[in-house]
Amino acid sequence: MQNIKIGTRGSKLALWQAYHVADLLKAKGISSEIVIIDTKGDKILDVSIAKIGSKGVFTEELEDQLASGAVDIAVHSAKDMQSSLPDGFEIIAFTEREEVNDIILSHKSDIDYKDSDKPLILGTSSTRRVATLRHYYPHIQTVEVRGNLQTRISKMESGLCDALLLAYAGAHRMGYDELIIHKLSLDEFTPAVGQGSVAIEASTNLDEGIRSQIIEATHHEATGYRLTAERSYLRVLEGGCSIPVFALATCTDTSLTLKGGIVSLDGVNRIIHKVEGTLQEAEMLGKLLAEKVLNSGGDKILKEIKATLNK
Ligand SMILES: NCc1[nH]cc(CCC(=O)O)c1CC(=O)O
């Protein structure tokens, strides 16, 4: 087996993910090396992702390297991946998912976000989190904080906000467990599609033997079914990471439950539905959920969101 070249962004979280994949490969006796690639999303730090346009800001440059064969696979946060990949690329594996919750992270341990008498400023850059806060906790003020986790924490320390609203997976992987002061409920803060899993992307021209060995070493089957359902939902909503849609699939050995919906940017309208079926129906369940959400007012919310973001 040749040495697998793993393409990744250079942020600390991206490198954690790449080394995680390298470890999974190594456990099956496959050697690899990590190749760092700069992306547009890494370079443009002063414009919100929602404004750059989410399509491929973190993936385009990686795909160029996959296409040229300079790297064999690219590793991404599954959450940051478009629901439909450009022709010639595919996700070949999803690693076992981490806990999917959103969390509040702060040096101040006395933050009670449910107490509407206490002013609170939360830093986040996700439209889903902002809209969800407006829906459940309208007393909380939000401020946009971008950049990697280390940058966000230093912005918080310099007083931009009291706390950060983040994914548990990223905070945990970066070693910030001690600063996690609240774990948010999955019913309120239903996560973004794919949150907590690492996706492995390849060119459709990747050698079949190499491809199957990589899958064998890294793919987690239950996570795969869950993300297939969630991503199928996202594909219909055409939601990149800038649109506040959310979905979370859970599964047993045979069955799959998919809950998800959409929330208006002002937080006023939040629609959520649940569908159930077998693991093999994952793709169909995503479409079924999308149909339910769109038919119960989601179509109107989606239209409003797109009109606002395109302004
Ligand atoms: N959008 C940025 C991003 N992409 C993946 C993670 C965290 C790790 C994960 O959810 O897989 C984060 C940070 C965050 O949302 O707090």
The ipTM is 0.96
Structure tokens at 218: 């890294």
206 forms beta bridges with none
Please report the pLDDT score of residue 210 as a whole number.
97
Per residue in 197-233, pLDDT (tens digit) is: 999 999 999 999 999 999 999 999 999 999 999 999 9
Cα separation, 268 vs 270, whole angstroms: 7
Q: Which residue's C-alpha comes closest to atom 8 of ligand 1?
A: 170
Quickly state the pLDDT bin for 291 (edges 50, 70, 90): very high
Integer angstrom CA distances of residue 157 from 105, 106, 108, 150, 216: 11, 9, 10, 11, 43
Measured from the Cα of 197, ligand 1's closest atom is 11
Cα separation, 83 vs 104, whole angstroms: 27
Q: Which is nearest to 199 in space by CA: 297, 305, 91, 58?
A: 91
- Check if 102 has its Cβ closer than 6 Å to any atom of ligand 1: no
Determine the residue of 77, 80, 146 to mutate for testing ligand 1's pocket, defined as the one with the most ligand atoms within 8 A of the Cβ atom.
Answer: 77
- Check if 140 has its Cβ closer than 6 Å to any atom of ligand 1: no
Please, are residues 306 and 245 in contact by the beta-carbon 8 Å criterion? no
Please report the pLDDT score of residue 55 as a whole number.
55
- Measured in angstroms, how far is the CA atom of residue 291 from the centroid of ligand 1? 27
3-state secondary structure of 262: strand
Residue 74: other Cβ atoms inside 10 A: 27
- Measured in angstroms, how far is the CA atom of residue 16 from the centroid of ligand 1? 12
What's the average model confidence in pLDDT over 101-111?
96
Q: Are strands 198-203 and 89-94 parallel, antiparallel or unpaired?
A: antiparallel
Determine the residue of 11, 12, 13, 200 to mutate for testing ligand 1's pocket, defined as the one with the most ligand atoms within 8 A of the Cβ atom.
Answer: 13
- Check if 80 has its Cβ closer than 6 Å to any atom of ligand 1: yes
Cα separation, 172 vs 85, whole angstroms: 28
Burial (CB < 10 A; 0-12, 13-18, 19+), residue 182, is middle
- Measured in angstroms, how far is the CA atom of residue 50 from the centroid of ligand 1? 15
**Would you list the DSSP string of 168-212?**
HHHHHHTT-GGGEEEE--TTTSPPPTTTT-EEEEEETTS-HHHHH
Average pLDDT, the chain: 93
Cα separation, 8 vs 255, whole angstroms: 34
Integer angstrom CA distances of residue 152 from 36, 159, 234: 22, 11, 27
Cα separation, 232 vs 287, whole angstroms: 6
Per residue in 39-63, pLDDT (tens digit) is: 766 666 555 545 545 556 678 889 9
| pLDDT above 60 (res 142) | yes
Ramachandran angles phi, psi of 185, nearest 5°: -70, 145
Q: Which is nearest to 61 in space by CA: 79, 35, 90?
A: 35
| Cβ contacts of 177 within 8 Å, gap of 6 or more | 171
Burial (CB < 10 A; 0-12, 13-18, 19+), residue 307, is exposed
pTM: predicted TM-score of the whole model, two decimal places = 0.94
- Measured in angstroms, how far is the CA atom of residue 12 from the centroid of ligand 1? 12
Q: Annotated active-site positions, please?
A: 80
Q: Which domains are assigned to the chain?
A: 1-97+197-219 (3.40.190.10), 102-183 (3.40.190.10), 221-311 (3.30.160.40)
Cα separation, 24 vs 8, whole angstroms: 16
What's the average model confidence in pLDDT over 1-29?
95
- Measured in angstroms, how far is the CA atom of residue 117 from the centroid of ligand 1? 30
